[in-house]
Every structure is written in C-alpha cells, then in structure tokens.
Amino acid sequence: MAFEGLAQRLQGTLQKIKGKGKISEADVKEMMREVRFALIEADVNLKVVKEFVKTVSERAVGQDVMKSLTPGQQVVKIVKDELTNLMGGEQNPIQFARKSPTVIMMVGLQGAGKTTTTGKLATVLRKRHNKKPLLVAADVYRPAAIQQLETLGKQLTMPVFSLGTDVSPVEIARQAIAEAEKEHHDVVIIDTAGRLHVDENLMQELKDIRELSKPDEVFLVVDAMTGQDAVNVAKSFDEAIGITGVVLTKLDGDTRGGAALSIRSVTQKPIKFVGMGEKMDALEPFHPERMASRILGMGDVMSLIEKAQENVDEEKAKELEQKFRTQTFTLDDFLDQLQQVKKMGPLDEILKMMPGMNKIKGLENAQVDESQMGRVEAVIRSMTIAERTTPEIINANRRKRIAKGSGTSIQEVNRLLKQFEDMKKMVKQMTNMQQKGKKKMKMPGFDSLFR
Amino acid sequence: MTFFKKLKEKITGTNETVTEKFKDGLSKTRNSFTSKVNDLVARFREVDEEFFEELEELLLQADVGVETVMELVDQLRWEVQRKNIKNTEGIQSVISEKLVEIYKAGEELDTELNMQDDLTVILMVGVNGVGKTTTIGKLAARLKEEGKTVMLAAGDTFRAGAIDQLVVWGDRVGVEVIRQSEGSDPAAVMYDAIRAAKSRKVDVLICDTAGRLQNKVNLMNELEKVHRVIGKEIEGAPHEVLLALDATTGQNALIQAQTFKEATNVTGIVLTKLDGTAKGGIVLAIRNKLKIPVKFVGLGEGMDDLQPFDPEKYVYGLFAEGLEKEAE
C-alpha cells in the first residue's frame, strides 16, 4: 500500500513518448495527470496542485528531449525543480530581537507537537546560538500540559515559567517577559494551548498574547501528516495572528508531507524547522529540495549522506582504508564497522532514505533484523584476540566454544566466518581496482547484513 | 428525497440531541463540504462529465483519497445512467446513498463495543498527538454513565506529563487510574492494571499507550508485546483495540491503520477532532480497503463529546444543509 513514487507513476505514459524529439502538449497533459495524482496522494492541497500543474505544464511543453535525460526524467526534474522553488530558496534563520529578550510564540492545533517542539527549539537555541531561553507554560486548558513542559524543562535543565492553570495565558505571558528581563534570559518561548482555527474565542486569546508580547517570531506548528485541511488551518492562523514561520513536526514518520507545500503556497511564510524524532535534539533546519524529493517519493539521499558523514569517524575510516590496502583487515575491524553503521541509526530508517528502496517489492515492510547484528557482535566478542586476527586457526573445537560463549549455534559461527572470508576476497578485488584510481570503498560488509 | 426522508425520520425518531451534536460539530465548518455540494448542484443544471469532475474534486478535498474517489464516482456514473438522472436535482440523495453504501460494503454495521460479562479490556493505540488520552477520558465518562465500573491504565510511560494527564481525566470522571513511574515498562503497567481490575471486579479496563509513528519498528514491537501481555492474562483480551485517528490526517492514515492493524489487530477507529474543518474522509478509504469500522467520533473537548459513529448520521451531517433546503 506504500505510495508509488512519481517516477514510477510516469512509467506507462513514458513508454509512448520514448524516442520522440520533443515533448508535445498531449504528452505533457497525460503526464501531468499522473503528477496531479502523485501530489494529491502526497496530501498536497488540490487547489495548490492545480496551480502547480499549470506552471509546470507551461515549462514542459516544447522542451527538447535532452540527450542525457529521458523525457520522463526531464519532466520529473522540472517538477522537482519547480517544487523546490515553491518551497522557498534560501534558509531562513531565526529573527532575534535587537533588544533582549527575543519572544517566540508557538501556536497550532491540538496534538501538532507544540510542547515537544518548544523543548527542541530551546535546545537548538542553547546549543547553536548560545542563548539562555525561558520556557513559558501558557497552556492552561489541556490537563497536565504544564507538567509536560515542566518535565521537559527538568530533562533539559532549563527554567520553566508557570503560574498554574488559574491565571489567564495573556497574564502569564506578561509576567514571563518581565521575569525574563529580570533574570537576563535572552529568549522567551511561549507554549500556547492547542486550538481549533475556527474557535473564535481562543483565537482572540492568541491575538491578545501577540498584542501584548510583541513576538519576534510566531511559529505555526503543523503535523506533517495533515491532509487537505492544512490550507484552512494555515490560512486561518496566519490571517488571525500573522505567523512568521512554520515548524513541520513528525516528519520522521512515513508521510510524504505534501502539507508543507500547501502551507507554503497559501501563507508564503517560510518553513523554518522540521521535527525528526522524539529526542530533544531532533529538530533540523528545513531543506526545500529534500522535501521536494520526499513529496515525489524519490528518497532522501542528501540526509543519508549527511547522516553518514556525521557519524562515521574519519580517523577510523582512514585507518581502515590502510588496512584494506595492506590486507590486514581483521574480525575486530569488522566489528568496528558494524558499530559505525549502527551509529547512523535504525537500519530500516536508513534503508527508507535510499532512493529506489521503497519501490522494491516486499521491502516496504521489510525490517532489517538488528538483532542479527547483535548476534554477529556476540560471536566476534566470544573469540580470543588470536582468533580475531587470524580466523584461520578457528577449528571445530573453537567453533563449538565460540557458539556456546555467544549463545548462538555453530552454523551461525560458520556463516559469519564464511561471510568474512567472502568480504575479504571482495575487498581484495576492490583495493586492486582502487590502485587504478577508482573511488574509495567504504563500509564493506554492509550488504551482507541484508539478506 | 425519499432516502433523506427515511433518514431523517430514522434519526429524529431515535435521538434528537445526538443528531444536533453531530450537526453542531460539523457545522462549525465555514467552507463545508455540504455547502460546496450545494454550490455544485446549483451551478450545474445537468449531470454531465464536468459535474462529475467537480464532484471528484470535492471528495478529494475531503481527504477521501484518489482510489476510493475514482471508485465512488464510477459507481455514481453508472447509477445515474441506470436511473436515467438528467438534472442535478435529487443527485444529492444518490451521492449520500452511495457514500453510505460504500461505507457499509454490504455488511451489517456494528459500532457496539464487544462487552464481556466479566472484565472487558480496551486498548487504545495511535500515532502521537491524535487524542488517545482525551478519548479515553471521554470513553470512561460514557461507560460510567451507562452504569459500568471503569478503571484506567496509564500505559504511556514515555511522553512527559502523559501519566498526569490521564490522572486528571481519572479525577474528572471519578475512576481509578493504575500507574507506575515515568519510563517504566508499559507491559508491566498493563500486567499490574489487569491484576487490579480483576481484584476490584471492575467491568471495563481502558489501557492508554504512548503515541508512536507506525514506521518505528521497535516501538511497534513494544506495542505488540503490550498486546500479548494482556492476552496472556485474560484469554481473548484485549476485547477491543481502538485506533485513534485525527480527522485532519491525510493519506498517511491508511498506512497508519494498516500497520497498527498488523501489530495489534485493531477492531475499531475513533475519529477525533471532527469539530474542526477537516472531514476525515480517509475513513471511507480505510473502511473500503481494510474493513475497519469507525466506532466513535470526537466532536469537541467536553466530557460528553464522544459519540458513537453512525455512517448515516455522518453523511447526514455532511448534507444537513442541503436536506433542510429541500424540505422547505
């Protein structure tokens, strides 16, 4: 049931225009039908889709079918470029006030993730901008909302300002800002209660808070899974209180996130951050191009590469490369490699980021067996140092001992040793190739983990 | 018209206030689906291709999803041809009839909870922020009103403040909440709660769980374990697994329903936040593809804002304005 990517959707249509020199209007029309469906399935608002398709059609008609690209790729490229453009070119940093404190207001529907995002944003401000934020618990309606923020504050060792549930949110905001001035906090983040955009009383309350606190930023927090209604929500909030930016949450799910495009095109306000997980450091800057790929179901290669870069230890990689060259790669190094891969996060998430992976039949629900990695680790750890460096000495008796020691079976030990041998052979071939100036080989054994 | 008459009689005959609630909840919508259908009917005299195209778009904007919309509109085309309907008058009833029919899919619908003679265990699952805890509070109030004794299990040991939130609801409704500290094993909480529920001889135990995105394999495994632990303690339990679904959710809801069904054998859906402008049309697709029925809808934040789902009323709510105009 996973959604098809746009490229795949276009397959059928493309067969027909293969070999043509130019893309005709009729071809474009047919392809745009598929583009339209792909975008609607990604939850982009219908009106936004229509406008978008119109722009893209105009660009696509009459294009030369370039030699390097197939016409289909070209259309996909135009679609993707246009999508990226629409979602806003340059990165948008947070606007800080000239005179402290900077006031940031968090608004949105119930359950969008305002409180969690407040915690994450505070973490970013402290870590990257060297700020000293004060969190303000202004959600007096939802049961235990204040406790939630207070708990987060404790986890992050960050002060939380609250006056209980009997004081009006406007008053809470007023006193919080006074407190921040007194205690020299340079940022105040006001966590407001979730509310429906059609609830006039509660929207008025937000207007009042805005009026009083004169915020430098008003962030609309939106669930990335939101459907067609995203435009109504974004428009209402923007018209009522004037938002300055958007935070898209729960993007670590498998939604295509078309809401991002809808919101952007109705409000023209930048998407500033995306929430990528439940941990407090899981708030990332927004990348229009990646979002475009995602909406089109094309995989997120950039994030994958970045993740790898962030987590792979350069020194170790160099050392390893040396070992490859001299072919002194041991089981210990293999273990190191496993650790490096593991640091990149759950393997199935990494897999999902690879383009094409979501299209392989049967793989959409495949779970990479991480316990398998644990077992491999256990086997290696049950070996002596001598065995790890020269696996050739592992005889039947040793195998038995290793199996017992690691709680696995002799078969599993055999399989690992076989895999290791195969890998060494492969590495040997690769390094030979490398001598001739080929690209560096990284992470051997990666593929042997996926069976 | 006859369909609407029957429908109205049926509804008004049974429970006026509930219908009003449905209408209230749904009528908060300014640019509602209904008024758009009315516009559509008013603008088009004839039922032609253009009319169907616009109808398609209306349904797409209610998050029904491409496939289900295509199916529905194809069936409508056929129906219109069969009945030889030429003008748009009366097309509304055909549309709503068809929507209900697709939803029912030839089955007799049962939105009743599967209640046991002794202890009934209800497990609440769903992604983050859909309203699981709030729904549990409302459901507990509802069951208590019916004369049942209810106990709650604070199984969301992960999110900050989640246990406190459930405890507040417990106090409000006046039911006991079994809890452990934040960060403890949710399966252990369930085990404790079932023991307590048995010894106190309560009728219904409602178990809260932490919100989780359906693509987090580890968290889904944890949920499976919770489900298993409950089943070990009482055979056949949990008797109901309710998936809370936010009405504003788009096409991802279908994947949510499928994945949660695989992990915990979901028996019903609670469609929350239906008092906003979102229509939750995806439930049609979910019903169509996965056969999971909607059992309740959340229409507001009050304790009594949880209502049993009735596809006829749901459609009636969507078409209420049109009906009243016709009746005048």
Name the amino acid, one letter, at A308: A
- The answer to whether the CB atoms of A148 and B218 lie below 8 A apart is no
> Where is pLDDT greater, at A433 or A159?
A159
* Chain A residues whose beta carbon lies within 8 Å of the beta carbon of residue B167: 144
Picking from A78-92, A251-265, A407-421, which range would have the lowest pLDDT averaged per residue? A78-92
Say yes or no to pLDDT of A216 above 60.
Answer: yes
Provide the shortest C-alpha distance from residue A46 to chain B (in Å).
Answer: 6
Say yes or no to pLDDT of A276 above 80.
Answer: yes
- How many CB atoms are located within 10 Å of the residue B232 CB? 13
Cβ partners under 8 Å of residue A15, min gap 6? none
* Chain B residues whose beta carbon lies within 8 Å of the beta carbon of residue A263: none
Specify which residues B211 forms β-bridges with.
none
Confidence at residue A185, expressed as pLDDT on a 0 to 100 scale: 95
Confidence at residue A446, expressed as pLDDT on a 0 to 100 scale: 43
CB B104 within 8 A of CB B287: no
- How many CB atoms are located within 10 Å of the residue A243 CB? 22
Confidence at residue A441, expressed as pLDDT on a 0 to 100 scale: 41
Confidence at residue A365, expressed as pLDDT on a 0 to 100 scale: 45
- The answer to whether the CB atoms of A111 and B131 lie below 8 A apart is yes
* Chain A residues whose beta carbon lies within 8 Å of the beta carbon of residue B172: 143
User: Which tens digit of pLDDT belongs to each residue from A302-331?
Assistant: 555 555 555 556 666 667 667 666 667 788
Say yes or no to pLDDT of A227 above 90.
Answer: yes
Confidence at residue A364, expressed as pLDDT on a 0 to 100 scale: 43
Confidence at residue B21, expressed as pLDDT on a 0 to 100 scale: 59
To which CATH superfamily is domain B120-309 assigned?
Answer: P-loop containing nucleotide triphosphate hydrolases (3.40.50.300)
Confidence at residue B125, expressed as pLDDT on a 0 to 100 scale: 97
Contacts 24+ apart (CB under 8 A), A80-83: A80/A289, A80/A292, A80/A293, A80/A296, A80/A298, A82/A52, A82/A55, A82/A56, A83/A52, A83/A261, A83/A292, A83/A295, A83/A296
Minimal CA–CA distance to B64: which of B246, B254, B292, B245?
B254
Picking from A203-217, A370-384, A430-444, B282-296, which range would have the lowest pLDDT averaged per residue? A430-444
Picking from B101-110, B265-274, B318-327, which range would have the lowest pLDDT averaged per residue? B318-327
> Where is pLDDT greater, at B300 or B146?
B146
The 8-class DSSP code of residue A445 comes to T
* Chain B residues whose beta carbon lies within 8 Å of the beta carbon of residue A346: 216-218
- The answer to whether the CB atoms of B168 and A259 lie below 8 A apart is no
Say yes or no to pLDDT of A282 above 70.
Answer: yes
User: If 0-12 CB within 10 Å is exposed, 13-18 middle and 19+ buried, where does residue A217 land?
Assistant: buried
* Banded pLDDT at A195 (limits 50, 70, 90): very high
Say yes or no to pLDDT of A223 above 50.
Answer: yes
> Where is pLDDT greater, at A392 or B123?
B123
* Banded pLDDT at A370 (limits 50, 70, 90): low
Give the architecture-level CATH label for domain B2-109+314-327: Up-down Bundle (1.20)
Chain A interface includes B258 (CB < 8 A): yes
CATH number of A305-449: 1.10.260.30
Confidence at residue B81, expressed as pLDDT on a 0 to 100 scale: 85
Say yes or no to pLDDT of A406 above 50.
Answer: yes
With residue A393 as reference, give the H or E element that holds it. none
Mapping DSSP onto H, E and C, the string for chain A reads: CCCCCHHHHHHHHHHHHCCCCECCHHHHHHHHHHHHHHHHHCCCCHHHHHHHHHHHHHHHCCCECCCCCCHHHHHHHHHHHHHHHHCCCCCCCCCCCCCCCEEEEEEECCCCCHHHHHHHHHHHHHHHHCCCEEEEEECCCCCCHHHHHHHHHHHHCCCEECCCCCCCHHHHHHHHHHHHHHHCCCEEEEEECCCCCCCHHHHHHHHHHHHHHCCCEEEEEEECCECCCHHHHHHHHHHHHCCCEEEEECCCCCCCCCHHHHHHHHHCCCEEEEECCCCCCCEEECCHHHHHHHHCCCCCHHHHHHHHHHHCCHHHHHHHHHHHHHCCCCHHHHHHHHHHHHHCCCHHHHHHHCCCHHHCCCCCCCCCCHHHHHHHHHHHHCCCHHHHHCHHHCCHHHHHHHHHHHCCCHHHHHHHHHHHHHHHHHHHHHHHHHHCCCCCCCCCCCHHHCC
| Mean pLDDT computed over B164-187 | 95
Picking from A216-220, A405-409, B49-53, B125-129, which range would have the lowest pLDDT averaged per residue? B49-53
> Where is pLDDT greater, at A99 or A428?
A99
Mean pLDDT, chain A, rounded, equals 81
| Mean pLDDT computed over A163-182 | 95
What ipTM was assigned to the predicted interfaces of this complex? 0.83
Confidence at residue B106, expressed as pLDDT on a 0 to 100 scale: 62
| Mean pLDDT computed over B80-93 | 77
- The answer to whether the CB atoms of B251 and A226 lie below 8 A apart is no
Confidence at residue A425, expressed as pLDDT on a 0 to 100 scale: 76
> Where is pLDDT greater, at B102 or A275?
A275
Which range of A269-283, B198-212, B281-295 scores highest in mean pLDDT? It is B198-212
Please give the residue of chain B at the shortest CA–CA distance from A113: B129
Give the architecture-level CATH label for domain A6-86: Up-down Bundle (1.20)
User: Which tens digit of pLDDT belongs to each residue from A283-295?
Assistant: 998 988 888 888 8
- The answer to whether the CB atoms of A225 and B276 lie below 8 A apart is no
* Chain B residues whose beta carbon lies within 8 Å of the beta carbon of residue A152: 160
Confidence at residue B135, expressed as pLDDT on a 0 to 100 scale: 96
| Mean pLDDT computed over A230-243 | 95
Q: Which of A146, A147, A229 sits opposite B278 (nearest CB)?
A: A229
Confidence at residue B212, expressed as pLDDT on a 0 to 100 scale: 95
Picking from A16-20, A171-175, B47-51, B264-268, which range would have the lowest pLDDT averaged per residue? A16-20
- The answer to whether the CB atoms of B66 and A37 lie below 8 A apart is yes
- The answer to whether the CB atoms of A227 and B282 lie below 8 A apart is yes
- The answer to whether domain A102-294 has CATH 3.40.50.620 is no
User: Which tens digit of pLDDT belongs to each residue from B254-312?
Assistant: 999 999 999 999 999 999 998 888 888 898 889 888 989 999 999 888 888 999 988 87
User: Which tens digit of pLDDT belongs to each residue from A134-159?
Assistant: 999 999 999 999 999 999 999 999 99
Confidence at residue A247, expressed as pLDDT on a 0 to 100 scale: 96
Of the CA atoms within 13 Å of residue A397, those in its CB half-sphere come to: 1
Instruction: Tell me the domain boundaries of chain B.
Output: 2-109+314-327, 120-309
Instruction: Tell me the domain boundaries of chain A.
Output: 6-86, 102-294, 305-449
User: Which tens digit of pLDDT belongs to each residue from A35-73?
Assistant: 888 899 899 999 999 999 988 888 877 665 554 456 666
